[in-house]
Each structure stands twice: as C-alpha cells, then as structure tokens.
Amino acid sequence: MSLRLGDIAPNFQAKTSQGDIDFYEYLGNGWGVLFSHPADFTPVCTTELGRTAQLKEEFAKRNVKVLALSVDPLDKHTAWISDINETQNANVDFPIIADQDRKVSDLYDMIHPNASETATVRSLFIIGPDKKVKLMITYPASTGRNFVEVLRVIDSLQLTANYSVATPADWKDGEDVIVTMAVPTEDIPKRFPKGHKIIKPYLRTTPQPNK
C-alpha cells in the first residue's frame, strides 16, 4: 500500500555515499527530506543535487537533514558526485543511497511502472520529527524540482506545527498567516496579540506569530 500524508515514514538501513546509515538514527529528532533520482549521471538530477548542496546552510538552520536516493551502485555515486561538484560549483556532502535492490524505492513507492519498470520517479518526502510524512511531491523525469518551494513548505510546516495557523497561497516566511477555524474569533486577541483582521468570519489573518 502506498504512503499517505500522516503515515509513519518507514525506517530502513542502507549503504550510502557517506557510509551505512539507519534512517531514523540519521534524522535524529529533526526534520528530513528524502528525495529520489531515476539514475546517476542524469542531467536534471545533477542540477538538483548541486542545488541541494548549495542550500546546505538553509536546510541546517531549519534543522533539516537531506538524503538522496538512486538505484545505481556506490562506485557510480562517487564518480557522479565528482561531476556534480565540478559542474554545479557545489560540495555534495549529504548521503546518496545506493538502492540497487530497490528496497527503499519500494518502501516509499518510488517505482511507477507506467513511468519506468526499473528507475524511480522523482519523488520528494518531507518527514517531521515524529517520523510522519508531512509532504509528498512527485515530478516527472523532465522537470527539475523547485528547492525554493521545498524550503517554503518546510517553513510553513514548522510554523503551523507550533501555532494554530495556516499559510495562504504563495505565502513566504514573514508574511501574514491565517488563523485556523479551531480558534474562536473572541479568543484571537489573547492567542495572537500582534493584531488580526477579519476578512470573512471564516477568513481571519494575523502577523506571523514567531517573527
């Protein structure tokens, strides 16, 4: 059965470019991003892994660890990382899983037969400290991921995990947020002392509470 939002992300042990890991131990008490690539030495994935490496500090300040996956073996990963670093002006120092037996790919439903019988689709999972799946995005092989969007979603997930708010369309960190319907209007001033606006009874906004 395929994973759904809110499911516990399956744990696994795997060989990676950074040595053997246990997924849960690697994540610790923080957040995680697990993302798959159809194969090594593919052009779109080369740019994606390079971009992820360039954003190392952005992930770190959000307490997020990243972990990539390809169905190719470790020796190919090593050669590919060299190419990525050279062409993308990057330093890939996060683990890339060598999932030759497709164990992890199957756990996370990354093999879509109508797309490819052997290679993974370009899936990305955000996993919370509770080890639950918070977000899933699957891209076709032809379209590179938007890592600014990945960071934006992480900002939203971390904010809404701690406050009774939701984030509107195109929201970015620092902008106003929506007070959830679980908070009665009369309780908003106490819960959100920065002020609020009532646009409709069901649409109440407030400045981002942790800024």
Enter the DSSP assignment of 194: T
Tell me the pLDDT of the chain averaged across its residues. 92
Over residues 136-155, the mean pLDDT reads: 92
Distance CA 112, CA 120 (A): 7
Band (pLDDT 50/70/90 cuts) for residue 119 is low
Let me know if 109 is exposed, middle or buried by CB neighbors in 10 A (0-12, 13-18, 19+): middle
CATH code of 27's domain: 3.40.30.10
168 shares its domain with 132: no
Q: Is the residue at 40 inside a domain?
A: yes
CB-based contacts of 11, cutoff 8 Å, min separation 6: 22, 23, 24, 131
- Looking at residue 192, its amino acid is F
27 shares its domain with 99: yes
What is the domain count for the chain?
2
Active site residues: 45
Is the separation of the CB atoms in 178 and 166 below 8 Å? yes
Low-confidence winner among 35-39, 108-112, 160-164 (lowest mean pLDDT): 108-112
Q: Is the residue at 3 inside a domain?
A: no
Per the structure, the complete domain to which residue 177 belongs is given by 163-206
pLDDT greater than 80 at residue 39: no
Alpha helices in 13-42 (DSSP H): 23-27
pTM of the complete model beyond 0.75: yes
Q: Tell me, what's the pLDDT at 112?
A: 54
44 shares its domain with 96: yes
Is the separation of the CB atoms in 121 and 39 below 8 Å? no
